[in-house]
Amino acid sequence: MIEIKNLSSVKLNEKKLFQFSEQIINKNYQVEVVFIDRNEIKKLNHEYRNLDQETDILTFTDEKKGSLHQIIICPEVAKTNSHLFNNNLEKEVELLIFHGWQHIIGNHHA
């Protein structure tokens, strides 16, 4: 099950993001992709990582079978980062969804 929730003020093509997510995310996983605003991602980053700053993505995963995994993305920060990497917002968000999926399946960066 894949669910897309846009709780941010940024307009996104949720249908296209859902289709992209379906292509990369294993259907045996329950994954919720949630888009939130800058203030909310900063609060979560502080609460869970003890970092008092914004980030573009946070991933929450649980090893229990059948559990819900979350990929939390801030499209405002993603938009800023997209310019640094010569991407558009849509491509940057797709990369972040892929990045979050990699964390869920256990591929972590150093």
Parse the chain into domains and list their residue ranges. Answer: 2-104
Residues 54, 74 contacting (CB under 8 angstroms): yes
The overall pTM is greater than 0.85: yes
**pLDDT tens digits, one per residue of 77-100:** 999 999 888 999 999 999 999 999
Residues 105, 42 contacting (CB under 8 angstroms): no
Rounded Cα–Cα distance for residues 7 and 28 (Å): 25
Does the domain at 2-104 match CATH 3.30.56.10? Answer given as no
Rounded Cα–Cα distance for residues 18 and 34 (Å): 11
Buried/exposed code over 47-77 (b: 16+ C-beta within 10 A; e: otherwise): eeeeeeebbbbbbbbeeeeeeebbbbbbbbb
**pLDDT tens digits, one per residue of 21-80:** 999 999 999 999 999 999 999 999 999 999 999 999 999 998 776 789 999 999 999 999
